[in-house]
Amino acid sequence: YEIRFKSQIGTIELHELTQAVNHMAESLERQERLRKRMTTDVAHELRTPLANVSSHLEAILEGVWKPTPERLQGCYDEIQRISRLVSDLEGLSQAEKEYVTLEKEPVELLTLAYTVRDSFEQELASKSLSCSMTGETCTVYADAKRIRQIMDNLLSNAIKYSYEGGEIHISVHDFGESGVLEVEDDGIGISQEEIPLIFERFYRTDKSRSRKTGGTGVGLTIVKALVQAHGGKVTVESETEKGSRFTVVLPKGEDDE
């Protein structure tokens, strides 16, 4: 009996071990696939601005083109685009770490939203945009820096994709178990077909590409990763030419630490 008992334990352990190894192998494979896709995506995103800068500079160096301020500005803009992409990628790799270490503390969403709005004062003024706020105070247990980044990215998009003189509205609500943040604009909107794609890395809608807003298509990927790291959810409702509303639901999470 003793021998059988022992061998049974042995079988169970072996079975669990096999499962754990398989699970680890699957997770490694998935990470490897993601890493490969990321490398291809980054190479693709860098190729265009780099090709533009080098062909413009080549033409100038060979005397084919005069170095007019417009052409130099064009090169400068492309270099700015490359730097934005690199810093967005740093943000993305932080946000997409398998285990993001959140430094949780009580965060009052309405106060934070006011701070974020004030930090965008210049951008709002430069497009004559108004940005109203409503709602109630709501404290969630979260990583303040990351929540700020979520708000920064959503407001910066609302500004980028609004028309001159448009209206942006931010609201914060306390839903008991969770806090809800909404950022709404009356800008260019997103078509129904493209809504499921905008959270993908480097995805930019046709409409926004043609507007030269200088986006890199990484901001919403970061938002989604950070919201998910907090156990929350981000959704969007939008209509072309009418505007967009992004909603972030964050569990209050007081009890999880």
Provide the binding-site residues for ligand ADP, judged by CB under 6 A.
153, 157-158, 160-161, 185, 187-190, 198, 203-205, 208, 215-221, 244
What's the closest the beta carbon of residue 190 comes to ligand ADP, in angstroms? 5
- 239 φ/ψ angles, rounded to the nearest 5 degrees: -145, 135
Bridge partner residues of 233 (DSSP): 249
What's the closest the beta carbon of residue 64 comes to ligand ADP, in angstroms? 33
Cβ atoms 88, 46 nearer than 8 A = no
**Count of beta carbons in the 10 Å neighbourhood of residue 61:** 10
- Using DSSP's 3-state secondary structure scheme, residue 204 falls into coil
What's the closest the beta carbon of residue 89 comes to ligand ADP, in angstroms? 12
CA dist 170 and 183 (Å) reads 5
CA dist 20 and 14 (Å) reads 10
Measured from each CB, the residue nearest to ligand ADP is 215
Chain-centroid distance of CA 17 in Å reads 37
Nearer CB in complex with ligand ADP: 179/187: 187
What's the DSSP call for residue 69? H
What's the closest the beta carbon of residue 162 comes to ligand ADP, in angstroms? 8
CA dist 9 and 95 (Å) reads 41
Annotate 72-109 with b (16+ C-beta within 10 A) or e (fewer): eeebeebeebbeebeebbebbeebbeeeeebebeebeb
Nearer CB in complex with ligand ADP: 7/87: 87
Nearer CB in complex with ligand ADP: 41/174: 41
What's the closest the beta carbon of residue 26 comes to ligand ADP, in angstroms? 28
Nearer CB in complex with ligand ADP: 143/185: 185
Nearer CB in complex with ligand ADP: 141/161: 161
Of 59, 62, 94, 63, whose CA–CA distance to 74 is shortest? Answer: 59
Nearer CB in complex with ligand ADP: 65/203: 203
What's the closest the beta carbon of residue 256 comes to ligand ADP, in angstroms? 28
**Count of beta carbons in the 10 Å neighbourhood of residue 151:** 24
Nearer CB in complex with ligand ADP: 113/251: 113
What's the closest the beta carbon of residue 192 comes to ligand ADP, in angstroms? 13
